[in-house]
Structure 1
Amino acid sequence: LSLWRGYLVVSKPPVRVESTFSFLEIRSINIHSLTEIVLEADGLTLSFGVSHVADLEAMVSHVTASLKRVFPDSSPRNLLRTSPADIQQRLLTLTSAVEEQLDSWPGPCGGFSDTYAALCDFNRTPVREEIQWDVDNIYCINNWREFNLQDFSHIDSRDLAVAVSALSFNRWFTKISCKDLKLSVDIQQVLIFLLSRSLSLQELSLEASGLSRDFAVKVAAALREHHSSALQSINLSGNPIEDKGVIALSRELENLAEGLKELSLSRVSMTAKGLGSLSQVLSSTRLFSASLTHLDLSGNPGILVAEDATFLFRFLSGPNSLSHLDLSETSCPLDTLFVSLSAGCCKLKRLSAARNPFSHSRKVQKVTRSIREFFSQSTELQYVGLSATKLPPQALRLLLQGLATNTRLSGLELDLSSCELRSAGAQVIQEHISEAASIRSLDLSDNGFEKDMVTLVLSVGRCHALRRLALGRNFPVKSRALTDVVHRIAQLIQDEECPLQSLSMCDSKLKSAMHGLLSALGGHAALTEVDISGNNIGDTGAKMLAKALMTNTRLRTLTWDRNNVTAKGLQDVADALERNFTLLHVSGLADITQSYRSNPERTKEALHRIQQCLDRNNRRQSETVEAQKGFGARQSEKKVQDLCQQLKNSLQHLNHCSVQEVQDDIVTAHEMLYTARESLKLLPSLREAGRKCAPDGDLVNCTLADAANALMNEFNGSIQALAQDLMRGAEATCPQAIQRSRVSECLSECVSKRSRQTDTFLTRTLVENMGPIISNKL
């Protein structure tokens, strides 16, 4: 008997193997007497005679242990059908002990490697040790529950299919994923089997994997047969499953026991017919209202034009748990969408509706009010994408008015790029942007603002909550107007009260007009992230950028691709980074490629120096140390698991030793093995306890915010007292001059400005800068 297989050997010379069978073929074990055992296998009955009862027990124990290692969620002792009464209880006790021992520690990642090796033996295919090593080490050490097929994309599809089939009997992995990797027919077949059997698989993500509608139909059939499926997330985006596949899936989704949490059917060649079938299931099944949190139907043009879309809007307008909704490029009318969203979707966090028409009707006066209602009552919104929607000025005004009245919302990322807002939209933004304090990130790129850019920048600068701003592809062509706009932006980022941390001016082709902004970066600019790609600044601009980097201590991320920079410009930046210890990330692949073609040696040398400086700067970050500590803890856990396995293997060789002292040592070793495995079971609860006891980021930030407010009140009180003393001294010395001039008003304005500067400085220094550092250190 080997690990996974039995061999019938003819003992007479010449010794040879007469036949062989896999333990996976065994259907029953029958014991007719104390010296006879019969194995019923596929198309084969094997009867063995043994000399001693101990040999019979060893045989049953070995087969039971092997099958338990292959199928961790099974009970191989059930194969024991008949046995004499005088040894029946002993055999049941023996097999139960074997199963209990393997249940306590099936092996790394739920014993995947054992199952995989046994299936390779059963299918007579070679074991790919690389797969076993990756799972037992990389996956186990990092506690990954997601089996990513891309990690093994270089392996032959037939070998990979066996590894996937092992997941059907595995309780460790809860997700299987793949993206941009065409799956063979063999792998598709074992995936269907996996879905029909697995009790632990919760997430299926096969994006752009070359799957057809037939695969979706087979998935639906597998779910129909599997009444205990734990599946909660399905992502088949990028696969042309068409209406037939969508309709087949829709009919089975309502039968999932726990309900579906995530459904992604982006770019699946679905039409209004397929959407109608899916929407009817969503709107008619109450379970989806409570379970579904992510819905992605993007990239299916025309599906929300016909009457079938009514069922989806009905689902959105009712009580639901959606937090992520993506309807980009679905011909979804935004006016109708916001009517539904304002009635339901109170938990929505991310909304993507880009590349859709605002309305299929010209009469939009009444329904646009729902935009204001939605944005005024949403409390959890984090991202809204309305890019390329040609948003009318009236709708934009209602959107900003709704955000202005919403005091419970903060940190919103709003994408209004490519909406053709032009002067009318710029006017609306100037009027209302300062009131919308909930907007943290705003993308206004490519909106035709050219002549309105100066006033627009001034308005945006008054929005104290804004941290990220994108203005690319909006700049005027005329040089004088362009210079004024860039000068205004340079003034904005150097203002002490400027709230911006990130600025994007990409693809604006500013050329030499960018020099003013680059010079401003060397001053007191508060920006931590800048994107100046696509501006053709050339080597002269790179030289000015290098000078700015020598004195800038705030910038962390710099994107400056597609700027016609040669090796000379790259070397200037490399020289500057020798003196810059704060910049962490730099990107510019297109310029690097172009420069390498013309001057490979100098380009390579400059890139090497830039990378060395960035590596030096990144090593200073505490996040790296924290990550290494976590990895070390997982390595220690893996080491204990390996030691347990080694001890277990050693004990198997000593089980038949009859020396009493050895038997005592074996008992002690078993106790130690049990203790070690029990201690590993404590790790999840210990980690959870540590997580609860660890300093909470919100708690740290709240404490620092209170400290900042207390300091601000003290400083403002001091400033007010100083101003009052100044006024009293001036009135006592020059009473008539004070009465005739605006000294009092000017002093009040100065005090107000200084108070705002104090507030901004303390909040940025204590909460935004020191908060993460304190949390990481603690």
Structure 2
Amino acid sequence: MNTTITSLIFTNYKFQSEGMKDLFEALSANCTLTKLNISGNNIGPDGAKIVSYLMLVNTTLKDLDISYNAIGVGALHIADSLRMNEYITKLSLAGSKMPSDGIKSIVKSLKTNTTLKKLNLDANFISGTEIQYLIKYLKTNSTLTSLSINSNDIGMEDAHLFNELLQCKHLYKLKLEETFSSPEMMKVFFKDFHLNSVLRSIYVGKNRINSQGVQCLLDNIVQSSTLQELHLNYNKIDYDGIGYVAKYLKQNSYLKTLNLSFNMFGPIGAKYISEALFTNNSLKKLVLDDNLLRTDGMRSIAQAFLVNSSLTFVSLRRNRFLDVNQTIYKSLINNYTIIHMEPASKRVKELCDRNKDVQRVLQFPKTFNFQKNCATVLEELLLVLKVKAIPKELIIIITKVVAFRLLLLPHNIYNFLKN
């Protein structure tokens, strides 16, 4: 067995439980593997039992994915091992066809497990009973920070339970894609969101919540000062709904990532987003793929790049526009923060690369391993150059030259320069 391998991926090989026996023998004594993905292999309950043994004897495995393996009642064995395991921090059990008792047993293990940080229970027909169990044990668990329960069987009658889920004090990321059947359900779930002070990331894509639903959502999260990521992809939000999003962006100074892909809100919606970007100074990542922005919409977004100084990542793929690379290029000439743009012409990529250099230089001493006194000299130099309103391209050149010279000078010269 290879003694240096740290990650092993065997997906969709269909090796079933017999193959698991061979894999167990190979991995039980391994002391380097940290990630194992065997999703989509139809290992069944017997294979799950073998995996549970592996969880007990392997002390290096931290990331385990056994999704879509039809483990069924084998979940009981996984749960037993999870109670005793002290190493795994990420576990994915999506699409496992677990019975209710299996799901409850997995959730109950959270009472004693103190290492698991991320749990994926997507597509497991979870309903109100299992949600109640989940809430009960999450309240006593202080280590699980990320929970994914996308694509489950949660009806309107169970929506109120999610208000209690939001009261879990250590949950930072929550994925609820394909969960809400109506805007009303969304409203019930998020009505007490203003009481939550820890959640940082919410995924509510693929819920078809439309404009009414997005208004309900934003009305309830607008006061949050902790939410940093919001994913609203695949929700059939038209330009009226995007108007609510734009209003939220104008008022918000905490959100870092916004995903609005696959909503088809067109050029009018793009204009609303552009106007919001003129005033928003916190958003760093914006995804607008597949929204029929067309040429006019792309030009509106490009206009915002002339003013916005916080965005670092922008994705505008598949928006049915004519060649607007020239427009984007011109808008980025004096933009020094965007370091990743999709799609991007060769010239746009060159500007993004330039901006990476800009950000490295402007973030001394974090991005360079200079001695402390050397870094201080450079920081003071940057301050002087900024106060003097020196163009950023020139700042880069000056700082690089000085940094290079400082690296070649003996220690006593540093102090001479500093004084």
Same structural fold, with TM-score higher than 0.5 when normalized by the shorter chain: yes
Rate the CA distance shift 1:604–1:464 in 2: closer, same or farther, 3 A. same
Confirm whether residue 232 of structure 1 aligns to residue 4 of structure 2.
yes
What value does the CA root-mean-square deviation take over the aligned residues? 3.2
Q: Secondary structure at the match of 1:590?
A: coil
1:356 aligned partner, one-letter code: S
| Pairwise CA distance, 1:584 | 1.3
| Pairwise CA distance, 1:323 | 1.1
Match of 1:470 in 2: 203
Match of 1:274 in 2: 19
Please tell me whether the aligned partners of residues 559 and 586 of structure 1 are also in contact (alpha carbons under 8 angstroms): yes
Confirm whether residue 559 of structure 1 aligns to residue 299 of structure 2.
no
> After superposition, what is the alpha-carbon deviation per residue over 1:438-490, rounded to whole angstroms, capped at 9, x for unaligned?
2111110111341311121223443211001011222446xxxx52x333333
Confirm whether residue 344 of structure 1 aligns to residue 84 of structure 2.
yes
Match of 1:325 in 2: 64
Match of 2:161 in 1: 428
2: CA distance between counterparts of 1:621 and 1:431? 46
Please tell me whether the aligned partners of residues 84 and 113 of structure 2 are also in contact (alpha carbons under 8 angstroms): no
> Aligned match of 2:173 in 422, 432, 441?
441
Please tell me whether the aligned partners of residues 349 and 380 of structure 1 are also in contact (alpha carbons under 8 angstroms): yes
Rate the CA distance shift 1:488–1:331 in 2: closer, same or farther, 3 A. same
Bigger relative contact order, structure 1 or 2, given CA contacts below 8 A and separation 6+?
Answer: 2
1: CA distance between counterparts of 2:362 and 2:87? 33
| Pairwise CA distance, 1:336 | 2.2
Confirm whether residue 455 of structure 1 aligns to residue 194 of structure 2.
no
1: CA distance between counterparts of 2:367 and 2:193? 44
1: CA distance between counterparts of 2:337 and 2:20? 53
1: CA distance between counterparts of 2:229 and 2:48? 39
Question: Which 5+ residue runs of structure 1 have no aligned equivalent?
Answer: 1-222, 224-229, 234-260, 634-686, 695-778
Which of the two has higher C-alpha Rg?
A: 1
| Pairwise CA distance, 1:616 | 4.4
| Pairwise CA distance, 1:406 | 1.7
Give the alignment of 1:503-518 within 5 angstroms.
503-511=230-238, 512-518=240-246
2:12 aligned partner, one-letter code: R
Please tell me whether the aligned partners of residues 256 and 282 of structure 2 are also in contact (alpha carbons under 8 angstroms): yes
Confirm whether residue 377 of structure 1 aligns to residue 103 of structure 2.
no
2: CA distance between counterparts of 1:610 and 1:537? 23
2:96 aligned partner, one-letter code: N
Q: Secondary structure at the match of 2:163?
A: helix
Please tell me whether the aligned partners of residues 16 and 47 of structure 2 are also in contact (alpha carbons under 8 angstroms): no
TM-score, normalised by the number of residues in structure 1: 0.42
| Pairwise CA distance, 1:280 | 5.1
Please tell me whether the aligned partners of residues 254 and 282 of structure 2 are also in contact (alpha carbons under 8 angstroms): yes
Kindly tell me the number of residue pairs found equivalent between the two proteins.
355
2: CA distance between counterparts of 1:459 and 1:278? 47
2: CA distance between counterparts of 1:627 and 1:616? 12
2: CA distance between counterparts of 1:472 and 1:564? 18
Match of 2:227 in 1: 500
Q: Secondary structure at the match of 1:589?
A: coil
Match of 2:325 in 1: 604
Q: Secondary structure at the match of 1:418?
A: coil
Please tell me whether the aligned partners of residues 48 and 75 of structure 2 are also in contact (alpha carbons under 8 angstroms): no
> After superposition, what is the alpha-carbon deviation per residue over 1:614-663, rounded to whole angstroms, capped at 9, x for unaligned?
54455489862399999998xxxxxxxxxxxxxxxxxxxxxxxxxxxxxx
Please tell me whether the aligned partners of residues 76 and 106 of structure 2 are also in contact (alpha carbons under 8 angstroms): no
Match of 2:395 in 1: none
Of all paired residues, the percent bearing the same amino acid is 20
Q: Secondary structure at the match of 2:146?
A: strand
Please tell me whether the aligned partners of residues 200 and 226 of structure 2 are also in contact (alpha carbons under 8 angstroms): yes
2: CA distance between counterparts of 1:627 and 1:348? 35
| Pairwise CA distance, 1:569 | 1.2
Match of 2:129 in 1: 394
> After superposition, what is the alpha-carbon deviation per residue over 1:676-730, rounded to whole angstroms, capped at 9, x for unaligned?
xxxxxxxxxxx9xx89xx9xxxxxxxxxxxxxxxxxxxxxxxxxxxxxxxxxxxx
Structure with more of its chain in helix, by fraction: 1
Give the alignment of 1:96-495 within 5 angstroms.
231-233=3-5, 262-279=7-24, 282=27, 287-288=29-30, 292-300=33-41, 302-305=42-45, 307-317=46-56, 320-333=59-72, 335-359=75-99, 364-365=100-101, 367-407=102-142, 409=143, 412-434=145-167, 436-450=168-182, 451-476=184-209, 482-483=211-212, 485-495=213-223
Question: Which 5+ residue runs of structure 2 have no aligned equivalent?
Answer: 340-354, 376-419
Rate the CA distance shift 1:292–1:400 in 2: closer, same or farther, 3 A. farther
2: CA distance between counterparts of 1:459 and 1:486? 16
| Pairwise CA distance, 1:262 | 4.3
| Pairwise CA distance, 1:534 | 1.2
